[in-house]
Amino acid sequence: MARRVVVTGVGLVTPLGTGVEKTWNGLCRGRSGVGTISRFDASELDVRIAAEVKDFESAKFLDVKTAKHMELFVQYAVAASLMALEDAGLTITDENATSFGVVTGNGIGGLPTIEKYHQIALERGMKRITPFFIPMVISNMSAGQISILTGAKGPNLSVTTACAAGSHAVGDAFRMVSRGDCDVAITGGSESTICPLAIGGFNSMKALSKRNDEPEKASRPFDEGRDGFIISEGAGMLILEDLERAMARGATIYAEMAGYGLSGDAYHIAAPPEDGEGAVRCMKMALQDAAMHPADIDYINAHGTSTPLNDVCETLAIKTVFGDHAGKLAVSSTKSMTGHMLGGAGGIEAVFTALAVHHDTAPPTINLENPDPQCDLDYVPNEARNMTIRAAMSNSFGFGGTNAVLIMKKFAG
């Protein structure tokens, strides 16, 4: 018999602030984390804006030597995990270590370090490459370092499915706890690829916004004036726990995991099918897994990238799945404030979804000034909304046509 699984801890590192309180408050106030790139000189690039994490201090979570040999995406994941464990009131010991699993999602890995050491190799020779190069750049090192630093000895897995990776990680962790592979899972997603190569690559695909003079208004999902997404960075981690274990220790429960769907478009490397068919199947699978009807969902944290294709296709997919109920849903894109964290997005938005259920608050879609006529749902424009949220869905769709959908519901005993 499948075990019930609940969210008992959350941790965040985002462009809105390090820590759940900073980010959630910024999100509910409709604050943008997008600005002019400060990490390197972007003055000659077509795209000069991004959503950078501005207040992160690695020394609060890691010793100097350890941090020096970690890429930022790993540092963020470790920090968010430590915050989530503390929030959950959990300590990993020799006695319980094997009952804790780690499942993380990441899209690109250590691209900034690859870029850096390629240049060093060209200019100074191969012998100048640090022996820490490979451990710094491989995508699974977020899960590996979380395990090493916390002592978690249960299942250890890293998912690399582009922009759906964080959601796939949470969904896979949900299933692991549900079937008893572990009692607790530290799970979510992280990413940090704000570097010239990433900016140049996405720009060549015409995927990024070029609203350089108005960075805070550049991410505008579902708006007629949208012109691409904003590359972002950060980490969002959750503690998923067996319900009986959580109740026995009197844990705070943010939400109950209810459903997980995953599908492939089998269509195109970067574009969704016009009818959103893959997303439709994915949402239906999550609803079936949760044993829910469309009318049971009150809020959707949309993938909502602020790209011309995604926003129209996702809107159509939601209308196909939810029918008459689609017009009654609150749907918002938190990427309007955080930008798009690529492989980390699903983990961060899973935290947002749990908090939305817990606080009965739907975050807004900011910069929605002139809605695209083809995007005609209730996107919670510009101001957060206090409302009853019995259950919520989080959508993540990635390059290669990979889709993931999570459903969480209010814990009812």
Annotated catalytic residues are 163, 303, 340
List the structure tokens of 393.
Answer: 């869905």
What gap in Å lies between CA 55 and CA 355, rounded to an integer? Answer: 22
Provide the CB-side half-sphere exposure for 291 (13 A, CA): 1
List the structure tokens of 385.
Answer: 């909304």
3-state helix, strand, coil in the chain (%, to 5): 40, 20, 40
Where does 259-393 have alpha helices with state H?
277-289, 308-322, 335-338, 345-359
Phi, psi for residue 35 in degrees, rounded to 5: -160, -175
Amino acid occupying residue 126: M
3-state secondary structure of 189: strand
Sign of CA dihedral 388, 189, 7, 402: positive
SS (H, E, C) 30-68: CCCCCEECCCCCCCCCCCCEEECCCCCCHHHCCCHHHHH
List the structure tokens of 146.
Answer: 């979380």
Amino acid occupying residue 302: A
Instruction: Judge contact between 235 and 76, C-beta under 8 A.
Output: yes
List the structure tokens of 398.
Answer: 């990635």
Q: Judging by beta carbons within 10 Å of its beta carbon (0-12, 13-18, 19+), is residue 171 exposed, middle or buried?
A: buried
What gap in Å lies between CA 235 and CA 230, rounded to an integer? Answer: 16
